[in-house]
Amino acid sequence: MTPQTTSLPATAPAPRTARAIRNFIDGEFVDGVRGFDKIDPVDGSLIGQVHEAGAAEVDRAVAAARAALDGPWGRMSVGERARLLRGVADAIERRFDDLVAAEVGDTGKPETLARDLDVARAAANFRSFADTVSSAGLDSFLTELPGGRTALNYALRKPLGVVAIIVPWNLPLLLLTWKLAPALASGNTVVVKPSEETPSSATLLAEILAEAGVPDGVVNVVHGFGAGSAGELLTTHPGIDGVTFTGESSTGSAIMRAVAPRVRPVSFELGGKNAAVVFADADLDTAIAGLARSTYLNTGQVCLCTERIYVERAVFDDVAAGLAEQAARLRLGRPEDPATTTGPLISQAHRDKVRSYFELAQQEGATLLAGGGIPSFGDALDGGSWIEPTLWTGLDNSHRTVREEVFGPVAALIPFDTEEEAVALANDTDYGLAAVTWTSDLSRGHRVAQRMRVGMSWVNTWYLRDLRSPFGGVGLSGIGREGGHHSLEFYTEPTNVCVQL
Residue 7: predicted pLDDT? 44
Give CA–CA dist 140/46, Å, rounded.
Answer: 57
Predicted confidence (pLDDT) per residue in 321-359, tens digit:
999 999 999 999 999 999 999 999 999 999 999 999 999
State yes or no: pLDDT of 166 exceeds 90.
yes
Predicted confidence (pLDDT) per residue in 244-254, tens digit:
999 999 999 99
- CB-facing half-sphere around the CA of 117: CA atoms within 13 A: 19
Give CA–CA dist 76/84, Å, rounded.
Answer: 10
Predicted confidence (pLDDT) per residue in 144-161, tens digit:
988 889 999 999 999 999
List, by residue number, the catalytic residues.
269, 303
| pTM for the structure as a whole | 0.94
Sequence-separated (6 or more) residues with CB below 8 Å from residue 216 = 26, 27, 28, 64, 68, 210
66-70 own/partner pairs: CB under 8 Å, 24+ apart: 66/162, 66/189, 66/239, 67/217, 68/189, 68/215, 68/216, 68/217, 68/218, 69/159, 69/161, 69/162, 69/188, 69/189
Write out the H or E segment, with its range, that includes residue 289.
helix 284-296
Cβ 482 vs Cβ 148: under 8 Å: no
Strands 162-166, 140-144: pairing is: unpaired
Predicted confidence (pLDDT) per residue in 179-221, tens digit:
999 999 999 999 999 999 999 999 999 999 999 999 999 999 9
Ordered by where they begin, the domains of the chain are 15-270+476-500 (3.40.605.10), 274-466 (3.40.309.10)
Predicted confidence (pLDDT) per residue in 23-77, tens digit:
999 999 999 999 999 999 999 999 999 999 999 999 999 999 999 999 999 999 9
Strands 492-500, 150-159: pairing is: antiparallel
State yes or no: pLDDT of 14 exceeds 90.
no
The band of 19, judged by pLDDT with boundaries at 50, 70 and 90, is confident
